[in-house]
Structure 1
Amino acid sequence: QAPAPAAPAPAAPAVEAGLEFVVSPMVGTCYLAPSPDAASFVKVGDPISSGQVACLIEAMKVFNEIKSDKAGKIVQVLVKNGEAVEFGQRLFAVRA
C-alpha cells in the first residue's frame, strides 16, 4: 500500500506543467503492446493523435483498445505493462 500514495505525488506537478492525461475508462489489466513480442503502441517522445490506440485493457477476458482523447506528445507512461488499473486512473501524460 505504500507505493500507491507515491504515484499521485509526481502527478501533481505535472498538472501545473500544463500536461493532459489519457485515463482508463474501465477496471482491468493494462497492456502497452498488442502482444508480448510486439513493440509498445506508444512510448515517451512519440506523437499521439486523438483516436489513436494507446494501450489495451483486458477486462473479463475481453481486450479493449484504449484510444487517446488527447493529441500531442507522450511525455510519461504512468503504468507498467500487465499492471491492474482502476477506472479514471491516469495512463499517459501528454503535452499538447
Structure 2
Amino acid sequence: MAEHTVVTPLPGTFYRKASPDAPNYAEEGAAVSAGTVIGLIEVMKQFSELTAGADGTLEAFLVEDGDPVEPGQAVATLSVK
C-alpha cells in the first residue's frame, strides 16, 4: 500500500468538525474518497473545506483539532491502493 499525505493549502486553524457539538467529518480508520471532507481551515472567520485528495483509508491526523497550520503543512495521512 502507498501513502498519501493531506496538506493544507492555506494558513489558519484546522478543525475536524463544523461546530463544537457536531461530529467529526472523518475518523481515523475510515474509508474515504478523494472528495471526502476531513476538516476545515479557518482564516479570518472564513472556512475552507479540506478534502482527502485520494481514495483510501484515513490512517492518522498529524495535527489536533484547533491547531494552527501553515501552507504545505501535513494534516493527515491515508493509505491508498
Residues 9-57 of structure 1 show CA distances to partners (whole Å, capped at 9, x for unaligned) of xxxxxxxx73211110100000001110111111110011011111000
Aligned 1:40-55 pairs, distance under 5 A: 40-55=24-39
**Pick aligned residue for 1:78 from 56, 59, 62:** 62
Alignment of structure 1 residues 1-96 onto 2, 5 Å: 18-96=2-80
What runs of 5+ residues in structure 1 fail to find an aligned partner?
1-16
Query: Using the alignment, how far apart are the partners of 1:81 and 1:56 within structure 2?
Result: 10
- Larger gyration radius, structure 1 or structure 2: 1
Runs of 4 or more, structure 1, over 6 Å off, are none
Preserved contact between residue 21 and residue 70 of structure 1 (Cα < 8 Å): no
**Higher RCO (C-alpha under 8 Å, 6+ residues apart):** 2
After superposition, what is the alpha-carbon deviation per residue over 1:69-91, rounded to whole angstroms, capped at 9, x for unaligned?
11100111111010000101111
The alignment's TM-score, normalised by the length of structure 1, stands at 0.78
- Three-state SS of the structure 1 residue aligned to 2:23 is coil
TM-score by length of 2: 0.92
Q: Secondary structure at the match of 1:19?
A: strand
Q: Which has the higher helix share?
A: 1
